[in-house]
Amino acid sequence: MTPAACLGIVDWGIGGIGLVRELDRRVPGLPVLYWSDAGATPYGRMRSADLTARLHAVVCELACRGATEVVLACNAASTVAAHLSRTPVPVEGIIGHGLASVPDHVRGPVGIVAGRRTIASGCYRRGLARPGREVLSRVAQPLSAHIEAGRTGSPRFVADLRRIVAPLQRAHAVVLACTHYPAVSDWFADALPDATLIDPVQRLAAAIAARHPVAEAGPVAPRDYVTSGDTEAMRRGAALAWNVDVHATACSLRTKIH
């Protein structure tokens, strides 16, 4: 880690805070600048070209604020990561880490729970395909909205989760392919007692830590949060989902979106 290193993290909402918590454990000395883009159209609903342009502008904004690299802690955003060219700092998505988290020896059915864009992209289905391996995909769109709104554990949330995972009961492993979902891993585990749950954030955090070994020790570096959405909603959602106290600053893009 260079003295000026600063990791930018992008998510539409609070899902990426799970990555921050893991970095707190692995590399507390690495400064983090977190961008929640909740003021924009949800990434899963944007056209690919619009999402790419939006993310390019966000990366430029984070670079202007001091980020030396940016990770997309959002699977929907990561579906267009390959199209982010000419960014001022390196950009890394999470999907590759999700794929690498499933061992090749897992031959039984592998389940994927994710948002609509992630499933529709086919990234996980293609990347996890092996001879004799069945890949089961489930769109779990309402769950991230429940988590953002603080409805975790509500009867409606539990009913939606159980309905979504019901076809995955045969799965030997299930990838939580949305960074919000590890916040409710206990409910997933209860609904899928025979499956191994896989959180791609673990491998992503390990890769970041490997790049910044100097940050493993020493005082905790700043964790700065900015959001294009509602700061109080972010604070409340982060507390309920992740049990962390987040003080976010309202922000807007200074880079024009083309």
Which of 190, 207, 14 has its CA nearest to residue 101?
A: 207
123 annotated active-site: no
d(CA 52, CA 145): 22
Buried b (16+ CB within 10 A) or exposed e, 43-72: bbebeeeebbbbbbbbbbbbbeeebbbbbb
d(CA 213, CA 187): 34
Whole-angstrom CA distances from 185 to 69, 102, 234 are 29, 17, 20
Name the strand (E) or helix (H) holding 29. none
d(CA 100, CA 127): 9
Sign of CA dihedral 60, 96, 223, 30: negative
Q: Which of 6, 60, 123, 178 is catalytic?
A: 178
178 annotated active-site: yes
Q: Which of 6, 60, 74, 251 is catalytic?
A: 74
Q: Mind telling me the catalytic residues?
A: 74, 178
